[in-house]
Structure 1
Amino acid sequence: MIEQARSSVLMGQPEDALEALTEVLKYNKGHTYALMVKGDALYFTGSFEHALIHYYRALRRPGQYIDKIKFGIKRALRAIDYAVDIEMTHFIVGLMWIFGAMQEYVGRLPKPAPRSNSQHSIKTRKLEKKKAERVTKMKNTKSKKILGPLFDDLIFLKQLDGKAKEQGLDRVAEEAESSIRFIREKEKFWRQQAPSK
């Protein structure tokens, strides 16, 4: 089935290959060759970021296709470079690394502390939460307008950075901080391009 998918990719029918490979990977998520071929199929559909994700997943598995996988990674990165600027490429690769690391460490994240049932503490928590939300909303309104969809990524990265530091995941925290700096630099640049009236 994987060889048929590979043939479909080579014949210019990557959509057919994706259907077959999705079925294969449903039963064996770590199949190196299937991950690599799916990366190729995604690359030829123009989904370079998704292709890169599958190449990296394949690279984590031991196998005989290391050179082909590395070639796929270089090819996908080059395509992304042509589609977006080089800084955005580093941002995307950093995010992919973070998401990969989070998949590995998700079991190590802390569980929420048990909550008190007293009415006073519940009411106090609700009031504090509302106040914090209002303050955050006021501060973030301008950033949200400028960053657009990247604003949600910024919030996620801040939360991830805090959780990673709590867990002692220094590499994840470094990547998150690097991505936060990148988004803030872009925000600063975009603010200068469109000053407020």
Structure 2
Amino acid sequence: MVEAAAEVPPGTFPSFVAEGTLLVRRGEHDKALPCFTNALLLRPGDRQCLVARSKCYLKLGDTENSLKDAEASLQNDKTFSKGLYQKAETLYTMGDFEFALVFYHRGYRLRPELQKFRLGIQKCQEAIVNSRPFLLIKAQQKLQIKLTKDQKRASKQERVRKPQTERQLLGELYADKAFLEKLLKDEDLMKSSTKQGIKVKDLVSGGITYLNTRTEFWQQQKPIYARVRERKLRQQRWIRDKKRKPDEVARYIAKSMEDIDMLLAGGSPEESLKKAEHVLKTIQGWSDEEVPNKNELVGNLHNCMGNAQMEMGHMDAALQSHQTDLELARQNNLPDAISRALDNIGRVYARIGKFQQAIDT
């Protein structure tokens, strides 16, 4: 949590949030983390920002702070769906599947239309079932029960895995496995026994077996190749589904325009321009039936592009974008858009020193 005595950094809350959001999209969660922390210094307890920082902590493997922020986002509103989902995700990552299931269920009862809660419930139920063998193995180790023949056979099998994948799946436990495998090569130590008469080799082999089983479990839960394939299938379905639902289109447009404005306000005109160009290309590929106000929206996007280009100092490009906005506004008889475009064209002329043209506009 943020200390009250911390010095408030220079900047604004929206600018820190915009910068952090941009860094998250780039996968730079370590750099995004201080951005959200600075934003919380300016607006302590902002639940959206707490969830964003919690996600960063989780990506960086700091589940303790991730859970603290997720819980803090729920402090004043226990029905905050994003906070419930983030807490459930953190608990799931920590291996507390039963508790995670509780919060996935709470979120689903409040927002049954959100598929992520339903998927969370499903993966938690599967994890609880699949994790039972691990609990049995742990209990056997604590009770000092000898390994069964199947466990011995499994411990002797050579497992071919890429170290990078195994390290990613095991996390901090990867170092423990490497240590146990190193001990297994010490023949003198493996021949010895504990005071209770248990062979050290059996204990070490049991530990390796448990970690191998855990690796297989996590690989089943989140296999990398499956995520890539699933993403491709989603993209293919999206392309095939030419007739999109009106609420899906509306949500996409509203979210995209909000992102474009936030990036520009946050001092990232280049990213704002890229986002606007991408949305424009997407919208132009949709039918008028799917986007009833398509011409108005296209003009608005040219307006956003012009504003970003002007911030970047690309005056010729900005002038062209605003003139396109003006043409579309006149073609569709949109008085407010005409006024907006003329005002922006005048500002561009003023910036490049063509004051008479600015006055005429």
Same fold (TM over 0.5): no
Q: Which has the higher helix share?
A: 1
Q: Which has the higher contact order (CA 8 A, sep 6+)?
A: 1
TM-score interval for Structure 1 and Structure 2 normalised by the shorter chain: 0.3 to 0.5
TM-score (structure 2 length as normaliser): 0.23
TM-score (structure 1 length as normaliser): 0.40
